[in-house]
Structure 1
Amino acid sequence: MFDSPSKKGYSHSPTRDHVVTNYRDQGVEQPNRFRDPVFAILFICMILGTITTSIMYAPAVENANNGEDVAAAANGWLVVAAIQGATAIGLGLLSLSFMIAFAESLIQITLISSIVLCFVASTFMMVEGLIGGGVIWLMIGLISCLYAYCVWHRIPFAAATLKTGLTAVKSNLGLMIAAIVSLFVAFAWTILWVLNYLGIAYQENGGNQGDARGLNGGIVFALLICFYWAHQVISNVVHVTVAGTVGTWWFNPLAASSCCSTGITSSLKRATTFSFGSICLGSLLVAILNALRAMVHGARNNDDGIIVCIADCILGCLESIMEYFNRWAFIYCGLYGYSFMEAGKNVIRLFKARGWTMIINDDLVGNVLMFQSLGVGAVCGGIGLIANEINPQWFVEEGENVDVKWTIFFIGLLIGALFSSIMFNVVQSAVDTTIVCFAEAPVDFQRNYPDLYDQMSDSWMKVYPGLWSGEESLVSIGVQGGNQETPRARTADV
């Protein structure tokens, strides 16, 4: 039996006198069938088309470089970048245990730090004579104070969900491997797309390589959709894999309690086969909005600046709404194998029935993970500065008098933040899945992980006592007997 982590001395809660019940319309495991296959086919055709045009046009771009060897200018940059990347991965893994131990304190520190940073920025700008910017940061700081006051009482439940999500990830560390692999896949796609873009620009402009200004707007828009679509798909494959794995951990602990458990492999298989079309559909909708915003940004210098800003604002709102919808819909895809639209409708129906629409709007955990990523990035930037002190010839040619320390620090910050954020996105996905599973199937959680359940239910009662009553409540007051509905969620293929 999988041993769940315990917390000694945890206080007794009134919820222990309640009988827990699962959600009445809990999701049902769907048969293994390809969902939204048309969009999977379109995505594969897009990838093949990009590869084909890259092969056709890349040689012309290479010849136009006249054999220039850009790699020679790298010097020691690659070595230091590799060290920084490895450090980011190591710190990311170590921080999992740290966040479990100090989840509530980290959330509190994050809220306070964001307020302090706003006031520091405001003070700095006013001292420098930038009154307008200082006032803006002052207003942001005051709004942050109000936000912290409003959500402070919700910190215990956010901390409990963070602990549960982290515990699930630590039990299935292979998810981190999948996330890191996805980073390199995304990097390879970016290189391929750039080659494709330059090749098409070279052909369309009669050999004037790299001049994209003469490219047809429709071509640029299509290329941008391809770029964002692939990146969205790569990210969401990991998201769906995490959701499926955490679901297996929730309902069937024995199948999801090792680095490369069957819960991970079966969830990855589903994400890349049966649910791949659904992932492509949801990702395409976001990619179109991403591409539209990129086109709008490119038109900001036109005379119709106000109209462009309004369009950018509208597209930004639509983009956020779509990403928010995808975030929860893909969890249902991973848990049960629904199609994209069915998953979205079911998960929204779940939160409405539970009365949880305000809860899923909180982003306390996301703020903690963002600050953790910045912290890891700062450490990696510091490693770059140390390397520059030890061997400055790694970064500049001998005899040159160039101060590159801030460039080194900034690149290290980006590398560290990027690598750690990829890993922490796994944690965010696990936390989101925890919320969905807690809303749907608390019975299974109580049976498999009683200590974690006690922490979440106790904090829930303190934060949202009014949401424990009603027909669709998480618990029912009184005694209903020992028989509970058999869980209908997916388990790993064992």
Structure 2
Amino acid sequence: RDAFSGALFIAQMVVMVAVGVIYGPEAIKAAEDGKDGDADAALDVANQDSNMDGRHSLHETYINIIIVACLCGVLSAFVSSLALIAAASFARRIVQIALIFSIAMAFAWGTVGVGLAPKSFVPFAGAIALVLSVGYALVVWDRIPFASANLNTAMNGIRAEPSLMAVALVFQGLAMGWSIYYTFAVIGLYDAIEGGDVNVHNKTAKIFIYTTLAMAYYWTYQVLTHTVQATVAGAVGAWWLRPEGQTCKF
């Protein structure tokens, strides 16, 4: 419905892809084999070898970052799937369980703090967390039945449309992949700017560029997030209005 915003979003995506293609390899390029010099250039060869070792170490560091990010993405998908299964299985009691769990964790926090570091801020922080958790539980306890009824209805809608889980996981993977790509694109551009390959010497211009990059990432991330939310809302809304026994048309 908003053609201008859609075109602007696509344009910033194209720009970020171009930035990644042009400057991203600078952030993750592997070390190249150095060439042997003659006796008169021994010092230069030593310096080149040192630079190559540094690049190789940096390359390994970036590869490790990618691996850790992928593992974190897989772990987050697994944990979110378990949370959804728990919410679907105990929809009528999950709110009470969550409140009691938070109180128990706050109590454990303070107790462990007293045992391990009684003179530190840990026991005090645990006591504060315990008081806040108990107070919050007492305030909202009467509202739990209404919240549980809404949650149970929502879980029934999710169970009726199991493909929504696949949609959420796909977009979670897209968000993770885009975050990794964006990170190395920005690192490469930053290195190019600070190294002088890109002629930007004005401090205000640098701030503008980095702020624009941050806004571009936030915009893309929000689009992915709200796409999932709109898809889930549409599917659950269609399920709610669909006559009993009728299958979904999409």
TM-score, scaled relative to structure 1: 0.38
| Displacement of 1:207 | 6.2
Q: Which of the numbers 121, 134, 139 marks the counterpart of 2:123? A: 134
Aligned alpha-carbon RMSD (Å): 3.4
What corresponds to 2:222 in structure 1?
A: 232
Q: Distance in 1 between matches of 2:89 and 2:171?
A: 28
Give the number of the structure whose alpha-carbon radius of gyration is greater.
2
The 1:237/1:152 distance shift into structure 2, 3 A limit, reads: same
3-state DSSP class of the match of 1:205? helix
Q: Check if 1:113 corresponds to 2:101.
A: yes
Q: Distance in 2 between matches of 1:99 and 1:63?
A: 44
What corresponds to 1:162 in structure 2?
A: 151
How high is the sequence identity, in percent, across the aligned residues? 26
What corresponds to 1:47 in structure 2?
A: 13
What corresponds to 1:219 in structure 2?
A: 209
The 1:227/1:246 distance shift into structure 2, 3 A limit, reads: same
Q: How does 1:311-322 map to 2 (within 5 A)?
A: none
Q: Distance in 2 between matches of 1:87 and 1:173?
A: 16
Structure 1 segments, 4+ long, off by >6 Å, are: none
The 1:151/1:237 distance shift into structure 2, 3 A limit, reads: same
Q: Which of the numbers 198, 208, 211 marks the counterpart of 2:187? A: 198
Q: 8 Å contact 2:28–2:184 — kept in the other structure? A: no
What corresponds to 1:57 in structure 2?
A: 23
What corresponds to 1:470 in structure 2?
A: none
Q: Distance in 2 between matches of 1:136 and 1:85?
A: 28
Q: Check if 1:248 corresponds to 2:234.
A: no
Compare the two structures and name the one with the higher helix fraction. 2
Q: Which of the numbers 166, 180, 191 marks the counterpart of 1:177? A: 166
How many pairs does the alignment contain?
214
Q: Distance in 2 between matches of 1:43 and 1:225?
A: 11
Once the two structures are superposed, residues 184-228 of structure 1 have per-residue CA deviations (whole angstroms, 9 ceiling, x without a partner) of 2112211221232122112212269xxxxx992222211111112
Q: Distance in 2 between matches of 1:233 and 1:252?
A: 28
Q: Distance in 2 between matches of 1:224 and 1:237?
A: 20
Q: Distance in 2 between matches of 1:105 and 1:162?
A: 10
Q: Distance in 2 between matches of 1:118 and 1:90?
A: 22
Q: 8 Å contact 1:104–1:155 — kept in the other structure? A: no
Once the two structures are superposed, residues 398-444 of structure 1 have per-residue CA deviations (whole angstroms, 9 ceiling, x without a partner) of xxxxxxxxxxxxxxxxxxxxxxxxxxxxxxxxxxxxxxxxxxxxxxx
The 1:54/1:44 distance shift into structure 2, 3 A limit, reads: same
| Displacement of 1:175 | 0.9
Higher RCO structure, 1 or 2 (CA under 8 Å, sep 6+) = 1
The 1:164/1:194 distance shift into structure 2, 3 A limit, reads: same
Q: 8 Å contact 2:24–2:186 — kept in the other structure? A: no
Once the two structures are superposed, residues 59-91 of structure 1 have per-residue CA deviations (whole angstroms, 9 ceiling, x without a partner) of 4445474474649x87xx89x959x65992896
The 1:91/1:194 distance shift into structure 2, 3 A limit, reads: closer
TM-score, scaled relative to structure 2: 0.72
One-letter identity of the residue aligned with 2:179: T
| Displacement of 1:132 | 3.2
3-state DSSP class of the match of 2:121? helix
What corresponds to 1:103 in structure 2?
A: 91
One-letter identity of the residue aligned with 2:206: N
| Displacement of 1:118 | 1.1
Q: Distance in 2 between matches of 1:255 and 1:207?
A: 66
Q: 8 Å contact 2:91–2:155 — kept in the other structure? A: no
Once the two structures are superposed, residues 237-277 of structure 1 have per-residue CA deviations (whole angstroms, 9 ceiling, x without a partner) of 0001111111111112479845xx41xxxxxxxxxxxxxxx
Unmatched segments (≥5 aa) in structure 1:
1-33, 209-213, 263-494
Q: 8 Å contact 1:114–1:144 — kept in the other structure? A: yes
| Displacement of 1:161 | 1.2
The 1:221/1:90 distance shift into structure 2, 3 A limit, reads: closer
Once the two structures are superposed, residues 27-68 of structure 1 have per-residue CA deviations (whole angstroms, 9 ceiling, x without a partner) of xxxxxxx1x332222211110111112222234445474474
The 1:60/1:145 distance shift into structure 2, 3 A limit, reads: closer
